[in-house]
Amino acid sequence: MTKDTKEMTRSTSPQLLAQVRHSIDSYIEHIQPTTASTQETVIDLLLEIEQTYANSIDHFIDEDELKAYLERFLSEETSEEQSINAMKKLIETIRKYIIDIEMVSINAMIHSRRLGGNGKAFGVISQNIKEFSNEMKNQYNSAYEHVNQLNKWNETFIEKINGLMNYSNELRSMRLSFFKQLIQEAVQTKNGQPSTDNQAIITEQMSELKNAMDLLESESDADARVQTLNTIAQLLQEAEQKQPLSVPQSAFDEKINKLQVEISQFVDELAIFEQEIAAFREEQAVFEEEMSGVETQFSAIKGKMDYLKRLNVMSRIEISRLDREMQNFGDEIDQISGQVVREVEASDTFINSLKEKLINDLQSFFTQLDYNHEHLRNMKEVSERFLHQLQEKNKSEEDKSSALNEAKDQALQEVENMILHLNTEETVT
């Protein structure tokens, strides 16, 4: 090899040395301890989750208070109580009176026929009362059917309420306590980790590499440089086993991953719960529809009470000309009809009042349920943000690990290039 060639080979050593220095500096930069700061970010979010959950539970309206708004729906007391069950019993009572009127009217019609012409007029009136009673009975049957639907609705409603309350209770007493325990365990695990040991490992790696590079740059002997470069290559290869970023899952990561799975399931459950609440709200519309059906029938019945009163007056006029037995029929019809009129007027007031109170009760219940729902949404939002943060963290860790490996491979390549160059230079010399 010529002298010029030897000089060219030697002249490339500073350039190769600079490339090795650059690649080692790049690798050292990549092994700076970023794991601790990442964990601190996760810890901050964990504490935020714990605080959000705790605040939500503290402001939750408990199950007993929610159910208090629905006492009229849950009541199974007597007809004196203002409840759906009381309304049903009221309708049953009035319908019984109407059936009694119908039966007395039929008996009066039969007896009037025995009287021949003398009982004809009263027979016509009795026929009208019977037809009126039959019409009233049909309307009460319709109202009664609406009440039956309300009872069925109420059974379904109570079943759904119990389901919501049970989930709410589980959420308050079990699920969130479990989350709190997991969060505290994760925080304690992180606080208990020998982070200083990790820092010591990283510091040691950087110190050894820097010292080796300083030694390499101070050496002029090719053999010594090759030996130092081999040491640097060995340090790089050993770093893969020592690097905290590359070790198997830490206890902290295991806790976080477990919490991630649980919170992911929790978010899914909250989404289903939100759908159930939305569907539950539709129950209010069904109730109002059936309740309006009862109200409509009672309004129609009340409007016909004047006609029943007129029939009673007419029957009293007719029976005054007839025998004592017919007068007894008239007295009975008049007595029962009067009872029906009083019951209908009272029931109309009762039903209007009950409807207003039940609708207000429902509205108050759903208002409070929405209040709880808002806190659930907050919990769901912070949970989703936590899951997103963890996904970003995992992606970041993967990117860091990939960049670290690339930096290490690049540094090894530069070291091997310089070793090859120095060996070649020594052969030339």
pLDDT digits (tens, 9 = 90+) for 295-304: 888 888 888 8
pLDDT for the residue numbered 1 = 43
pLDDT for the residue numbered 197 = 55
Per-residue confidence at 388, pLDDT binned at 50, 70, 90?
confident
Distance CA 406, CA 415 (A): 14
pLDDT for the residue numbered 79 = 41
CB 379 within 8 A of CB 53: yes
Distance CA 240, CA 408 (A): 9
Mean pLDDT over 281-308 rounds to 84
In the predicted structure, residue 309 carries a pLDDT above the cut 70: yes
Q: 3-class DSSP state for residue 61?
A: coil
Three-state SS sequence of 138-152: HHHHHHHHHHHHHHH
pLDDT for the residue numbered 243 = 52
Q: Helices in 304-323 by DSSP H: which ranges?
A: 305-319
In the predicted structure, residue 5 carries a pLDDT above the cut 80: no
pLDDT digits (tens, 9 = 90+) for 39-82: 677 778 778 878 877 777 777 767 777 777 777 776 655 444 67
Q: Which residue has the higher pLDDT, 111 or 351?
A: 351
**Nearest-5° Cα angle at 186, 185 to 191:** 95
pLDDT digits (tens, 9 = 90+) for 230-243: 888 888 887 766 55
Q: Of 16-20, 196-200, 328-332, which one has max mean pLDDT?
A: 16-20
Mean pLDDT over 266-283 rounds to 80
Return the number of other C-beta atoms located less than 10 Å from residue 332's C-beta.
17
- Lowest mean pLDDT, pick from 109-113, 178-182, 242-246: 242-246
Percent of the chain with pLDDT over 70: 83
In the predicted structure, residue 25 carries a pLDDT above the cut 60: yes
Q: How far is CA 204 from CA 5, 70, 196, 230, 248, in A?
A: 41, 69, 12, 18, 20
Contacts of 416-423 with CB under 8 Å at 24 or more apart are 416/233, 417/16, 417/19, 418/13, 418/16, 418/17, 418/19, 418/20, 418/225, 418/229, 419/226, 419/229, 419/230, 419/233, 421/9, 421/12, 421/13, 421/16, 422/13, 422/222, 422/225, 422/226, 422/229, 423/226
Using the structure block, give the residue that is written with the tokens 């009037």: 112
334 closest CA partner among 104, 91, 93: 104
Mean pLDDT over 370-374 rounds to 81
Q: What is the pTM of this model?
A: 0.59
CA 219 to chain centre: 69
Secondary structure (DSSP) of 64-93: HHHHHTTHHHH----TTSSSHHHHHHHHHH
In the predicted structure, residue 17 carries a pLDDT above the cut 60: yes
pLDDT for the residue numbered 240 = 61
Distance CA 328, CA 380 (A): 74
Distance CA 291, CA 361 (A): 14
Per-residue confidence at 4, pLDDT binned at 50, 70, 90?
very low
List of residues 6+ apart from 125 with CB closer than 8 A = 311, 314, 315, 318
Distance CA 90, CA 92 (A): 5
Mean pLDDT over 9-19 rounds to 67
- Lowest mean pLDDT, pick from 81-95, 252-266, 323-337, 338-352: 323-337
Distance CA 344, CA 140 (A): 11
In the predicted structure, residue 418 carries a pLDDT above the cut 80: yes
Mean pLDDT over 333-345 rounds to 80
Per-residue confidence at 363, pLDDT binned at 50, 70, 90?
confident
CB 225 within 8 A of CB 422: yes
List of residues 6+ apart from 379 with CB closer than 8 A = 52, 53, 56, 270
In the predicted structure, residue 190 carries a pLDDT above the cut 70: no
pLDDT for the residue numbered 81 = 64
pLDDT for the residue numbered 199 = 61
Contacts of 10-14 with CB under 8 Å at 24 or more apart are 10/425, 12/421, 13/418, 13/421, 13/422, 13/425
Q: Which residue has the higher pLDDT, 410 or 102?
A: 410
Distance CA 193, CA 303 (A): 82
In the predicted structure, residue 370 carries a pLDDT above the cut 50: yes
In the predicted structure, residue 245 carries a pLDDT above the cut 50: no
Using the structure block, give the residue that is written with the tokens 């500096």: 25
In the predicted structure, residue 247 carries a pLDDT above the cut 50: no
- Tokens for 414? 């530069």
pLDDT for the residue numbered 325 = 64
Per-residue confidence at 428, pLDDT binned at 50, 70, 90?
low
Mean pLDDT over 320-325 rounds to 66
Mean pLDDT over 2-12 rounds to 43
Distance CA 154, CA 213 (A): 82
Q: Of 249-253, 287-291, 341-345, 387-391, which one has max mean pLDDT?
A: 287-291
> Within the chain, what is the greatest distance between any pair of CA atoms?
156
In the predicted structure, residue 425 carries a pLDDT above the cut 70: no
Q: Which residue has the higher pLDDT, 239 or 142?
A: 142
Torsion of CA 412, 415, 421, 427, to 10 degrees: -100
338 closest CA partner among 317, 361, 359, 312: 312
Q: Which residue has the higher pLDDT, 396 or 265?
A: 265
**Nearest-5° Cα angle at 8, 7 to 14:** 95
Across the chain, mean pLDDT equals 77
Element (H, E) at 343: helix 324-428
In the predicted structure, residue 95 carries a pLDDT above the cut 50: yes
Distance CA 207, CA 224 (A): 20
